[in-house]
Structure 1
Amino acid sequence: MSLDSIQVFQSLNSSPHAHLEQSARLGDGLNAALWSNHHDIREYHAPDHHTLSCYIADGTGTFRRDRPDQKGSPGKLCVLPAGHESAWVINGRIRLAHLYISPEQFALGCVTLLDREPRTLQLQENTFLDDARQADNFRRLIGLNWHEPGERLLTSSLAHDMLSHALLTQVGLRDGLRLKGGLAPHLCRRLVAFIETHLDEGLSLGQLAELCALSEYHFARMFRSSFGMPPHRYVLQRRLQRARHLLRESAVPLGDVALACGFASASHFTNRFRQAMGATPGEYRQAFA
């Protein structure tokens, strides 16, 4: 997910009153931005991404147009889920940080952290939320140098922690849910367990489809409906997540990490890892040394 495709980012970036202090693509569908703004009006119309926002300084004159009696202040958080509609009035000045989350990364968290089918859950919209832990995470986030390679990787790790915290505290069941298509819950659980125990192997679409007694074509469609992403992307994300864990928590040689995570060679592993994280596995390990 590039910054050019993020509606909330582009809305602020198009304002003559808003100033982008810094931004960074953190990999894994996560992006961060630090803004200052003054005397402005901004509207967001059903973005396809989720946004976590924290007021860093000022903001006491900022409010939603439909809730003029509620004002912001430093440390307040706003949770803006994909598909929401909001209009904001900024009287005076404000400095705020954003974390943008792709729907695929949100879906992956629903599966791996909450053990739930992503389409059954929704990130709950919230305005001027008090959450001391998440506010502290945002302050730590802006204290790092997003463009220095080592600290950029620490920033990425912190962003993952912030997403996990939001999943555990700000996610609820989707209202008026009527599911159509997709895989049965017991099949989803079977697939997740099978993939986790076979990440070091060369998994195929046919192999996964066979577990569900479906043709490859129908399995791929139903998997995407249930998991919010195609099977190959889900497997790749799980392999990269395992790789990050091994790189941070062990001294396993890089070649062995590649094999343990199902990559055919160290060069293939390095290329995929760099595409996702913007750094090589060795640089990632060094950042957490």
Structure 2
Amino acid sequence: MSQSLELVRVGYYRAPAVRRVTPFQIRDGECLVELMTNGRAYIDLDGHSVMLTYGDFRWEYPGDWSLSHTDPEDPYECITFLFRIPENQKRQWPGYVRPLEADILVNFAREALHAFHAFHLEREELGPMIYNRLAWETYRSNLHQQPAEPSVVTLLRAFIERHYGSHLELQDLAEEAQMSVSNLFNLFHRYFAMSPMQYVRERRLYHARLALVETGDSIRDIAEACGFSNVEVFCRTFRQAMGITPGQYRKRYRGPQRLTAETSAEEPS
């Protein structure tokens, strides 16, 4: 497959705040992968509507249509990979994949987007690398396939991704799921092996790590944007989870650079 595979384009798409986006049909000799990075999209699967959220991706072959249904209150965003494949190539992979490790895959997709436009690698080399990684994630997902998560779990994952930066309480999650707090605890322990608020904390820390590496925002601003009550709580929580301070994490993964006086002063020792 890789011998006749060509990476044509890597892009980023943000849907408008409407229910239906105008789709386009995949042409002969092309394969499109749309990998969700934010928001919600919907596809029809065997007559049922399935929600796609963070980390999910979709293989689209000739004759398929691109994603078109979204939530106007939470429009989807995705990284797209367009490959040129042999004419009359049959579908290799199922249309919809929920990866085992969404964070790792989304990070890979972001790096691939940057590499494609920064010309760090020859595109002849980059194309098979990306395609094979997506194929491997598809294989792993199928190999370890578990019963499809209930729609309420998908709903809660999307809700937390939208609101991790705000003040969230157990009752907010219970109301969104329309269930009791005790049932909410049971649900999270079954599907995430942690409590609801531990899951919220993990998502906040994940987005904080991204902001530390990808932005120049101060540690105080990152703490606020990621839903921590103050910078002291953020730094303490971050150090307990990562073993280093936010400032040390930023230096390690962004390389040596001069921090602003404000950023340095904000991080408790």
TM-score by length of 1: 0.40
User: How high is the TM-score relative to the length of structure 2?
Assistant: 0.43
